[in-house]
Amino acid sequence: MVLWALLDALGPSLGHRLTVAHLDHGLQPDHAAQAVIAARAHETGCNLVTRSLRLSPGPALQARARTARYAALAELAGTSGADAIATAHHADDQAETVLMRASRGAGVGALAGIRRRTTAGVVRPLLSLDRATLRAVAASLEVQWWEDPSNARPDYQRNRMRHEVLPALSAVAPGAARGLTRTADNAAGHTEAMAFWVASAVAKHAVHEGTQLRIPMELVPRSLPALAPLVHWATDQLGVPALSQAAVRQVCNALRTGQQCNVHGLAVTPAGDALNFEACAPK
């Protein structure tokens, strides 16, 4: 709601037109949220579009909800002619994300956390501001908001990080949340630099044809830390979601054994003088 208020206020000076999208996941009664949003849309005169996703309860619910949410937002952006999708992720979201990923042994790319801008047109203007600052802004602008009751559910890992782990960590190391967001910025910078140097070294030698990418074997490192940036560059070229550290490890093993592997929509085949990547349906 703060993002909405700020973008609406900046519209006359920046020249953008704002469309507000409200998505109902179908997991809980949504009447209170709809009332707040509809009232704000009427007050500001903003175009409001809604969509019902109707997700079913079950394993990996938050991941499934996120995938469905961004797919719906992309569709709505296309039909409304939007140039960008702005979401209100903030610094505390970033700190939680980095801490969750670090606890799983994530690689540098994953430690970059939530990106400020994505190739899919998603932008996050509030990522440098923490929750306390946004609440203060909301109070200053007299912005009404609705608190999602699922944010208090202890069965979600992110909620436990938010309500239990981060406060405990901050008590021991004051400023821990800010430190975690700096870690994300540093990791993002490292990832961007590695992508630049990989592209500089490999792009002119690689052969990209449709869903296939062929990289000369003399340019393919054998160690996991050195191989990971090359694999991430390949997935970016093929439009395949970035692989996890565990998936990159599978690619490294395939390279050592000379056997093909299929990981999350990417088939990797060592073929004599080249390493072949091909976008395919996940097995």
Q: Helix, strand, or coil here: 233?
A: helix
Measured CA to CA in angstroms, residue 250 lies from 5, 153, 247 at distances of: 46, 35, 5
212-241 mean pLDDT: 92
**Does the pLDDT of residue 282 top 70, yes or no?**
no
Q: pLDDT averaged over the chain? A: 91
List the one residue out of 60, 58, 66, 59 whose CA is nearest residue 25.
66
Backbone dihedral region for residue 175 (phi beyond 0: left; psi -120 to 50: alpha; all else: beta) = left
What whole-number distance in Å separates Cα of residue 51 and Cα of residue 26? 10
pLDDT of residue 37: 92
Q: Over the stretch 134-182, which tens digit does the pLDDT of each residue have?
A: 999 999 999 988 888 888 888 888 999 999 999 999 999 999 999 999 9
Q: With bands split at pLDDT 50, 70 and 90, how would you rate the model's confidence at 64?
A: confident
**Does the pLDDT of residue 283 top 70, yes or no?**
no
Q: With bands split at pLDDT 50, 70 and 90, how would you rate the model's confidence at 217?
A: very high
> Which backbone phi and psi does 121 adopt, to 5 degrees?
90, 15
Run of H or E including 35: helix 31-44
The residue type at 102: A
What whole-number distance in Å separates Cα of residue 245 and Cα of residue 142? 44
End-to-end CA distance of the chain: 40
Q: Helix, strand, or coil here: 127?
A: coil
Q: What is the pTM of this model?
A: 0.85
CB 241 within 8 A of CB 235: yes
More confident residue, 277 or 106: 277
State percent of the chain over pLDDT 70.
Answer: 99
pLDDT of residue 138: 95
| DSSP, residue by residue, 154-221 | TTSHHHHIIIIIHHHHHHHSTTHHHHHHHHHHHHHHHHHHHHHHHHHHHTTT-EEETTEEEEEGGG--
pLDDT of residue 156: 83
| DSSP, residue by residue, 77-90 | HHHHT-S-EE----
What's CA 96's distance to the chain center, in Å? 13
Q: Over the stretch 85-118, which tens digit does the pLDDT of each residue have?
A: 999 999 999 999 999 999 998 888 889 999 999 8
List the one residue out of 169, 161, 190, 3 whose CA is nearest residue 97.
161
Q: Over the stretch 11-47, which tens digit does the pLDDT of each residue have?
A: 999 999 999 999 988 777 777 888 899 999 999 999 9
**Polymer length in residues for the chain:** 283
**Does the pLDDT of residue 59 top 60, yes or no?**
yes
SS percent in the chain: helix, strand, coil, step 5: 55, 15, 30
What whole-number distance in Å separates Cα of residue 159 and Cα of residue 151? 6
